[in-house]
Amino acid sequence: MSKLQYGFDIKFTPGGTLLFEGEKDHLIPSTSHFLLESDFFVVAGRMIGHSFLHGGPSLGGLSPAILHVLFGGSPEEATIDIKDCADLDIRETIKMLDGTAELSADVKDTINELAMSWDLPLVTSENRRWLLDKLLIHAVLRRTSRQVKQLRRGLKETLIWPLLTERKDTIPLLFPGTSDMQCTPQMVLEKINWPSQDQEEESDVSLEDACRITGYLRTFIENASPNLLGKLVRFWVGWDVLPRQLDVEVVESSFPGSSTCFHLLKLPAHCKDYNIFERDILAAIWSVDTGFGLV
């Protein structure tokens, strides 16, 4: 799901490939011919559906206009934001139509070139607003219609389509907004099952060391940004979605580690200073992009 959100490293495409392009909360399917002809969006639909069924992470930040069409809405009735246009050159051309100032000859030529490439009429003072809307619909929805159909097909193959169509309130669970995916310190702290005195009595680590290290962890969480908290959770459990419970264990080790399957964060007991603890936990967090959440 991380690859789906942030792109695949495909040998045929230098620099990797994004399946969904654009700004946060305005992502639209890529118009790449290679991805479309390879049925990548069918695969994406299957991945999203299976991740949902197994309580995994969601795909966040899709354009509301794309979601409107994905679940049966008419393109003409979709609310499209100019930010939904991922191609910046096309976006700038469409923005030229906004307003009431007279268009220069060069601006008209640029707009007309785009309009004719999509079989739309030339710009006039009478059709200016209408043409802006039509260009937006084409740029955001017409060019991605086949990709959306593939995505819908993949979702249907996971058999969750009846749930999504009959219970519209489940759609944000599958496709949340960016802000809904961000962790807050309070959200993380509420999930943590802190070590108890009975557990520490059975451990080789002293109660004093356990209290000091867990205190460092609490301080780190309270001062961390949403982005950093997301990476901490990913190091802790293997993905960005908070589980029902997060466990912490203070152990004799050199660096922080995690047992992602058991949602268990293992913190070394040797740190006597918060700055050292912070350095080590940051090194662990940033390892998730290159390893399996272990240092």
Query: Which domains can be identified in the chain, with CATH numbers?
Result: 1-179 (no CATH), 182-289 (3.30.2410.10)
Question: Are 295 and 256 spatial neighbours (Cβ–Cβ below 8 Å)?
Answer: yes
Q: What is the pLDDT of residue 248?
A: 94
Radius of gyration from C-alpha coordinates of the chain? 24
CA 254 from centre of chain? 33
Question: What pLDDT, in 10s, does the model give residues 65-74?
Answer: 999 999 999 9
Question: What pLDDT, in 10s, does the model give residues 217-232?
Answer: 999 999 999 889 988 9
Is it the case that residue 151 has pLDDT exceeding 90?
A: yes
Closest CA to 45 of 145, 159, 140: 159
Average pLDDT estimate for 48-76 = 92
Is it the case that residue 14 has pLDDT exceeding 80?
A: no
Question: Are 41 and 151 spatial neighbours (Cβ–Cβ below 8 Å)?
Answer: yes
Q: What is the pLDDT of residue 219?
A: 96
Q: What is the pLDDT of residue 180?
A: 78
Provide the whole-model pTM. Answer: 0.77
- 52-56, 142-146, 192-196, 266-270 — which one is most confidently predicted on average? 142-146
Question: What pLDDT, in 10s, does the model give residues 76-129?
Answer: 999 999 999 999 999 999 999 998 899 999 999 999 999 999 999 999 999 999
Q: What is the pLDDT of residue 244?
A: 82
Q: pLDDT confidence of 290, banded at 50, 70, 90?
A: low
Question: What pLDDT, in 10s, does the model give residues 159-191?
Answer: 999 999 999 999 998 999 987 777 889 999 999
Q: What mean pLDDT value characterizes the chain?
A: 89
* pLDDT > 70: percent of the chain: 93
Q: What is the pLDDT of residue 197?
A: 64
Q: pLDDT confidence of 289, banded at 50, 70, 90?
A: low
Question: What pLDDT, in 10s, does the model give residues 188-207?
Answer: 999 999 987 665 556 678 88
Is it the case that residue 272 has pLDDT exceeding 50?
A: yes
Is it the case that residue 294 has pLDDT exceeding 50?
A: no
Is it the case that residue 282 has pLDDT exceeding 50?
A: yes
Could you give the C-alpha distances from 1 to 45, 49, 123, 234, in angstroms and in order? 11, 11, 42, 12
DSSP readout, the chain?
-HHHHH-B--TTSTT-B-SEESSTT-BEE---HHHHHTTHHHHHHHHHHHHHHTT------B-HHHHHHHTT--GGG----GGG---HHHHHHHHTTSSSSPPPHHHHHHHHHHHHHTT-PPP-TTTHHHHHHHHHHIIIIITTHHHHHHHHHHHHHTT-HHHHHH-GGGHHHHS--HHHH---HHHHHHHEEPPPHHHHHTSSS-HHHHHHHHHHHHHHHHH--HHHHHHHHHHHHSSSS--S-EEEEEES-SS-EEEGGGTEEEEES---SHHHHHHHHHHHHGGGGTSSS--
